Amino acid sequence: MNFVSTGQGPAVLLIHGLFGNLDNLKGLGQVLESQYQVIRVDVPNHGLSEHWDEMDYPRLATAMVALLDELAIERAHIVGHSMGGKIAMATALAFPERIISMVAADIAPVAYEPRHDLVFAALESLPLEGHTDRRFALNHLIDKGIDEATAQFLLKNLQRTDTGFRWKLNLSGLKACYPNIIGWHNQAPNPVQSYSGPSLFIRGGDSNYVTGEHRSAIMAQFPAAQAKTLEGCGHWLHAQKPAIFNRIVSEFIDKQAM
């Protein structure tokens, strides 16, 4: 699994969301790296990491712990956004002895209804051969109904070739595994696993990813959970309110060392 490690001290593992890469939480990493060893990962099927045909949260949790083993890290704080938050939760649930604290940004430990059909359709319809102009790709996604900010984010996955572009991410693999990505394997109210360590759920005030309806599922699986709401931002809270988001996360992690 591709990763970047910076700083020294207790380890903090940062995990991006669907269609992202290890740069997504770089700002948070820069805040933390003065006191911590920060490891930012490309999740499998993303960035420069290996492509998997089968991708689910138990497998991803095992991969995160394998990375800690590779780096000779006994225990780590773990932070994830969206899909990355689910990976962080799954890792804490399956390997609680390896996790000091867990932060999930704008995601709950529940199964969701599909909400990326438009994105998959737009990405799959983009002609890759014969076009080397990113403006063409941007306009194509916008024409397919993707807002410009999201389109710019998605196009970070494009890589130029001699004859056009290719996707760095495993688009077909992600689509095939999408039911697992929006799903959840540890269903409340009778979850098989729970994590009693320190956990923080941060939601965007304008987002519908974490609502009051999710409270019981969160508490059943993370009985020590704390919650914060960032007003005036949506699902991309770490990008929309970076200073506040980074402060909340860093203060939460700092408290675990006291």
Residues catalogued as catalytic: 82, 235
84, 63 contact by CB (below 8 A): no
The residues, ordered by sequence, that sit 6+ positions from 123 with a Cβ below 8 Å of its Cβ are 141, 154, 167, 171
Find, among 6, 217, 232, the residue nearest to 104 by Cα.
217
The residues, ordered by sequence, that sit 6+ positions from 246 with a Cβ below 8 Å of its Cβ are 27, 28, 31, 238
CA angle 198/202/203 to nearest 5° reads 150
Q: How far apart are the first and last CA of the chain?
A: 32
With 0-12 / 13-18 / 19 or more C-beta atoms within 10 angstroms meaning exposed / middle / buried, residue 161 is exposed
| Separation between Cα atoms, residue 209 and residue 211, nearest integer Å | 7
